[in-house]
Amino acid sequence: MKFIYFDIDTLRPDHLSCYGYGRSTPNMDALAADSVLFTNAYASNTPCMPSRASVFTGCFGLTNGVETHGKAALSVDTPPETALARVITWNKAQAVTVSSFGRHPAPWFYNGFSHVIDPSYRSRAENFQRFSGSAVNEAAMEYLDGFKGGDLFLHLHYWDPHGPLTPPPEWIDYGYEPDTSGVSQKQLDGLTGSALYRGGLHANVHDRNDLAELIRRYDAEIRYTDHLIGQMCAYLKERGWYKDSVLVLSADHGEQYGEAQMILEHGTVHDSCIHIPLLLKLPNGERAGTVCTDPVYGLDIAPTAVRALGMKAPENWDGIALQDLLDKKEKPRAYLVCEHGLYTCQRAVLKEGWKLVHTFSPGIWDFPEFALYNTEADRTESTDVKERYPKKLEQMKRLEKEWLEQVLQGAPDRLAQLGAADAQHGMQVAKRITQQIREQNNTLLGRADR
């Protein structure tokens, strides 16, 4: 059995045509036609390191200890023998990652992999994020050309949709006008005049045309990555492996393009950040072309992988095997809880069209301690309705408390502690860059006055 995990950085599902977007992503559409498409998949923890720690440990950030970046993210508290790759290799399968993510000095990322292939060095990339996804495919195919058989878990990580947006020029489509309607004119006016980190002055967005151009380049990165997914699927078909393999396509998080006070960043629990695509292709066309609306997490990929490889998931994992959910062996979750701990410290509770956002630290931005959104009526999460629905607010708070009791088992709330100390790793970066932008802006204004 081969389990192949396409891990696409910073990929929003609402920019894929299989999720209803107006721009074509034909290769991901073809994979979706062979897969179960999950419409309510969310990253339990964001951004990059917390998200991948949740997948590779099978546990929430509150359990594994990774809620932010920096030194606090270099180790995990979960037992090393329960790491996803360790479970796989100890059961005599190959676990292979093709990713530059390991250049973060985090041993938990490597734990258990039989092969760690970093294409950034062979691409002479000065920065671990700045190399083409074509290098991932080249390295993956080189490994697979020499593969001797047996069970395999293959993790393929593509940075391309992550900022800064530098798509190959031939993939930029100037023949359409990107949709910016998710950002109201009031929101845009606030952003374009903002000297905050990832505000308009920092992101060089001065009007709606600038925002549209950013989205155009984001779409180009996605179209290019779609091309790379098509290459890998074609390779698997040529080798006769595609039909019998399990394939998963997902993301660590999304990206903000004007939503929730930021541009070209993933710094909150807004849906633009935490809602992720999730496709699951099962062997031999099983459940091909079906849609699952049950709420699921990205960390469910871990038990899904070991289930596909005929192995048993460790008891400490927080995820569920998606196959068991589809086969009705697992009950759907009643609600989801998602956390962010890099720029803000926020926790979201999502249940049946409602979303509670609990902010422990707003960072340098303007977020209330609690906000409530009716996400069915307000998909852009622009109107806080907690004053209008006080009973719903209290109900959602109770769900947060219930979840904490289940997960923490008496342990402290690490996210609350992080926020109380304003210790999220991105805080100092955001403050420093904001101060620089303000000083530069004041200098320019002073020159204009003379």
> How do beta strands 278-281 and 36-38 pair?
antiparallel
Assess contact for 424 and 341: CB atoms under 8 A. Answer: yes
User: Measured between alpha carbons, how far is residue 138 from residues 5, 146, 248, 409 in Å?
Assistant: 16, 13, 19, 45
449 against 342, higher pLDDT:
342
d(CA 220, CA 412): 43
Alpha helices in 58-194 (DSSP H): 61-64, 84-90, 107-110, 119-122, 134-145, 185-192
Quote the mean pLDDT of the chain: 95
Q: What is the pLDDT of residues 397-448, one digit of tens each?
A: 999 999 999 999 999 999 999 999 999 999 999 999 999 999 988 875 555 4
Q: Give, in order, the Cα–Cα distances in Å from 192 to each of 150, 203, 207, 376, 447.
A: 55, 9, 7, 28, 20
Angle (CA) 126-132-138 rounded to 5° is: 110
Specify whether the CB–CB gap between 19 and 249 falls below 8 A.
Answer: no
Mean pLDDT of 276-285: 98
8-state DSSP, 354: E
The pair phi, psi for residue 372, each rounded to 5°, is -130, 130
> Per-residue pLDDT for 105 more than 90?
no
Q: Where is pLDDT greater, at 162 or 105?
A: 162
What SS3 state is found at 281? strand
| % of the chain beyond a pLDDT of 90 | 91
- Taking only the tens place, the pLDDT of each residue in 334-377 is 999 999 999 999 999 999 999 999 999 999 999 999 999 999 99
Q: How far apart, in whole angstroms, are the C-alpha atoms of residue 206 and residue 186?
A: 13
d(CA 345, CA 419) in angstroms, rounded, equals 5
Grade residue 100 by pLDDT with cuts at 50, 70 and 90.
confident
Mean pLDDT confidence for 60-69: 97
- Is the pLDDT confidence value at 450 over 50? no
pTM beyond 0.85, yes or no:
yes
Q: What's the whole-number mean pLDDT along residues 229-239?
A: 98
- Which residues are bridge partners to 6 per DSSP? 156, 249
- Let me know if 134 is exposed, middle or buried by CB neighbors in 10 A (0-12, 13-18, 19+): middle
Angle (CA) 75-429-411 rounded to 5° is: 35
Can you count the helices (H) and strands (E) in the chain? 16, 18
Using the structure block, give the residue that is written with the tokens 């109770």: 398
Conformation bin of residue 398: beta by default, left when phi > 0, alpha when psi is -120 to 50:
alpha
